[in-house]
Amino acid sequence: MWMNSGQPADSYYEVRPEYTDDVPKTRFKIKAGRTLSVRRWQAAFSSEGYLDIGPTLSRIRRGGIHPSIRGEVWEFLLGCFSPKSTFEEREQLRQQRRVKYAQWKEECRQMDAHVGSGTIITAPIITDDGEPIKDPLVLMQAVPSANLLDDVGANEGSDDETQIHITDKKIIQWKLTLHQIGLDVLRTDRTLVFYEKQSNLAKLWDILAVYAWIDKDVGYCQGMSDLCSPMIMLIQDEADAFWCFERLMRRLRGNFKCTDKSVGVENQLQSLASITQLLDPKLHQHLEKLGGGDYIFAFRMFMVLFRREFSFGDSLYLWEMMWALEYDPGIFLVYEEQVLSSDRNGGTREKIKSIRQFGKYERENLRNGSKGSEPPLPISVFLVASVLKEKSNKLLQEAKGLDDIVKILNDITGNLDAKKACSGAMKLHKKYLRKAKGA
């Protein structure tokens, strides 16, 4: 039998032996009859390939997704594919995207030959004004590998490339981020056996380097490697993993947008403050008194979607539950306005009639009319609010300053239950909508 009830999921994300005592165990267990199984997933498709998304979302909410099919289910949850598409349409779209990614990657490789070479950069290759840093020993402080220097040397023209003074500001900016991406890649999920392989580290670096080039407004920011890493592990093809990450970034890129005056995540921190003030005024007042009224202590939870608060396996479980709860069947149309011809795609563009095709969280928003001019708050805001609610008494009694707030919240690492956190978020969301409506 392919799965046993109560089977832990740790075996799918193996931890390196030297870290087993330091890494929290995954609470998520594969449960027959609750977890979305391979059989259930395959049975959800019609003979043409149309996906019955409603029951699938319910099953994910009850017990998550079996690790062996996570990648392909995530592609639907994140809007890479429409449930109203056929097998043939999806394959066609997949091939188009792979070609597009290959073009972008080649564009990046032309600017820096390390892209696609199987190596990564962890030291600056140019100065802030575009002057090349010529010492090749400074170029590659990468992960130990017998073939590393051979690989770099094999890229013809890479030595010449470092001699060219660059004047294009966008290229300078991109090249300046490459070593930072490399440093972050080496720190990302380093406890996992998967990243002992140089090729997996290089794949993560390549995807982030390409993304940093195509998203000119945001580029690369710390935290993105944490969001991208699971995609590399779950989806074998690099281009497919890139597009899954790109879809996730469409949801979260606002958090990373910075101006001279503000960071994008501040909007969510302000929303969190408003929710706490409405639902737990005593706690909000206490946090304000301690100088935490800007809720900056919750910054990390939003930026890397609770990757630090949960084990690796549990963070994936949390993500898929969040996406299933928030699912909007129109998301694909928003992302892919011109991918398929309007004539051919008439069936996909038809008005979504059944509210069952939406996630439970989105259904609440629809019922309460919060799909108007302002987009509804992401469920992540209510997840953080539910964590604060759970720790409310401790914060009120023990927190005497900002350091205490941070310490109390850091103590939750590895001790949170992903499913309970989502249930708590849903309850708070319902309560918030009711109170906000009556205000």
CA distance 124 to 176: 7
pLDDT at position 374: 65
Q: Answer yes or no: is pLDDT of 251 > 50.
A: yes
Q: Answer yes or no: is pLDDT of 336 > 70.
A: no
Q: Answer yes or no: is pLDDT of 309 > 80.
A: yes
Q: Answer yes or no: is pLDDT of 337 > 60.
A: no
- Could you tell me the pLDDT band of residue 351, with boundaries at 50, 70 and 90? very low
- Could you tell me the pLDDT band of residue 347, with boundaries at 50, 70 and 90? very low
Per-residue pLDDT, averaged over 102-117, amounts to: 96
CB contact set of 276 (below 8 Å; sequence gap of 6+):
283, 284, 287, 295, 385, 388
Q: What is the pLDDT of residues 28-76, one digit of tens each?
A: 889 999 999 999 999 999 999 999 999 999 999 999 999 999 999 999 9
- Could you tell me the pLDDT band of residue 421, with boundaries at 50, 70 and 90? very high
Q: What is the pLDDT of residues 275-305, one digit of tens each?
A: 999 999 999 999 999 999 999 999 999 999 9
Q: Provide the mean pLDDT of the chain.
A: 85
pLDDT at position 366: 85
Q: Does 18 or 336 have the greater pLDDT score?
A: 18
Domains and CATH numbers, the chain: 89-256 (1.10.8.270)
Q: Answer yes or no: is pLDDT of 11 > 60.
A: yes
Q: Answer yes or no: is pLDDT of 373 > 60.
A: no
CB 413, CB 309: distance < 8 Å: yes
CB 306, CB 383: distance < 8 Å: yes
Q: What is the pLDDT of residues 156-202, one digit of tens each?
A: 334 444 456 777 889 999 999 999 999 999 999 999 999 999 999 99
CA distance 327 to 428: 18
- Say if strands 29-30 and 7-8 run parallel, antiparallel, or are unpaired: antiparallel
- Identify residue 196 by its one-letter amino acid code: E
Q: What is the DSSP string of 247-274?
A: HHHHHHHHHH-B-SS-BTTHHHHHHHHH
Q: What is the pLDDT of residues 192-250, one digit of tens each?
A: 999 999 999 999 999 999 999 999 889 999 999 999 999 999 999 999 999 999 999 99
pLDDT at position 21: 86
Sign of CA dihedral 213, 219, 220, 226: negative
- Could you tell me the pLDDT band of residue 96, with boundaries at 50, 70 and 90? very high
- Could you tell me the pLDDT band of residue 257, with boundaries at 50, 70 and 90? confident
pLDDT at position 439: 57
CA distance to 88, 177, 418, 419, per residue, from 322 (Å) = 29, 31, 10, 10
Q: Is this model's pTM higher than 0.85 or not?
A: yes
pLDDT at position 7: 61
* CA angle (411 as vertex; 405, 414 as ends), nearest 5: 140
